[in-house]
A and B are shown apart, each in its own frame.
Chain A
Amino acid sequence: QLQLQESGPGLVKPSETLSLTCTVSGDSIISKTYYWGWIRQPPGKGLEWIASIYYTGSNYYNPSLKSRVTISVDTSKNQVSLKLSPVTAADTAVFYCVRDWRFKYSFDNWGQGTLVTVSS
């Protein structure tokens, strides 16, 4: 059974870098069918797609965040990582790791999510 597990600091200071890792188990990241990505949800608000990446490293970013975001993949560890810098309080959110079913433009598997708070 596919599982996506996010990990990383729950508290980040303003102007610093938010770094998250998603460990995929139950399936290989090396898939011709799926991308792997990140979606965030500020407390009490809606969902926002951040970025997605293919196992080859080909990636797509939300233009509104592109200048601050880096997504990467480590096939040897079956992991996808996200960096967001610099952060402000507006970046406080639950961050979800997702499997991006690109053929269907939908997200068919989600991690449980991890809350990252930006505060000094």
Chain B
Amino acid sequence: QSALTQFASVSGSPGQSITISCTGTSSDVGGYNSVSWYQQHPGKAPKLMIYDVSNRPSGVSDRFSGSKSGNTASLTISGLQAEDEADYYCSSYTSTSTLYVFGTGTKVTVL
């Protein structure tokens, strides 16, 4: 099971919106609405930001939103803030024996 594909880095200025993509296959992202997104600050544990493609856990800012089209899922951060600078990982259920597959990760830089 190969990792889901994410661009290595994305950057934006404060206040802007950015979108992070996560591309898989019909066995994972494209086949199920079980895509999650995690935010990881340096030296910290990841934090769940989005589950089931577009749902936010309690306490997560509504500046974070998720969507999916075909085999690609996306995380959009609106009104970019300095605190959003972190690594972001997508994850999906997969019908292969692996059960869970993660993305390669995207480093978000706030200019």
A108 touches B48 (CB 8 A): yes
Kindly provide the distance from the CB of B1 to the nearest chain A CB, expressed in whole angstroms.
Answer: 8
Q: Give the residues in chain A near B97, CB-CB below 8 Å.
A: 63
A96 touches B45 (CB 8 A): yes
Kindly provide the distance from the CB of B51 to the nearest chain A CB, expressed in whole angstroms.
Answer: 4
Q: Please tell me which one of the listed residues B3, B34, B45 contacts residue A111 in the complex, with CB atoms under 8 A apart.
A: B45
Q: How far is the CA of A108 from the CA of B46 in the complex (A)?
A: 10
**Contacting residues of chain B (54-111) with chain A, CB-CB under 8 angstroms:** 55, 57, 89, 91-93, 97-105
Q: Give the residues in chain B near A107, CB-CB below 8 Å.
A: 36, 38, 46, 48, 91
Could you tell me how many residues of chain A have their Cβ less than 8 Å away from some Cβ of chain B? 21
Q: Please tell me which one of the listed residues A62, A96, A109, A112 contacts residue B99 in the complex, with CB atoms under 8 A apart.
A: A62
- Whether B47 is near chain A, meaning CB under 8 Å from some CB there, is yes
- Residue in chain B with minimal CB distance to A111: B45
B105 touches A49 (CB 8 A): no
B89 touches A46 (CB 8 A): yes
28 contacts between A and B (CB under 8 A): A46-B89, A46-B103, A46-B105, A47-B91, A47-B102, A48-B102, A49-B99, A49-B100, A49-B102, A60-B99, A62-B98, A62-B100, A63-B1, A63-B98, A104-B36, A105-B34, A105-B91, A105-B92, A105-B93, A106-B34, A107-B38, A107-B46, A108-B48, A109-B48, A110-B46, A111-B45, A112-B45, A113-B45
Q: Which residues of A contact B (CB under 8 A)?
A: 46-49, 52, 60, 62-64, 96, 101, 104-113
Task: Identify the 7 closest CB pairs spanning chains A and B, nearest first.
Answer: A106-B36, A105-B34, A105-B93, A110-B45, A49-B100, A106-B51, A47-B102
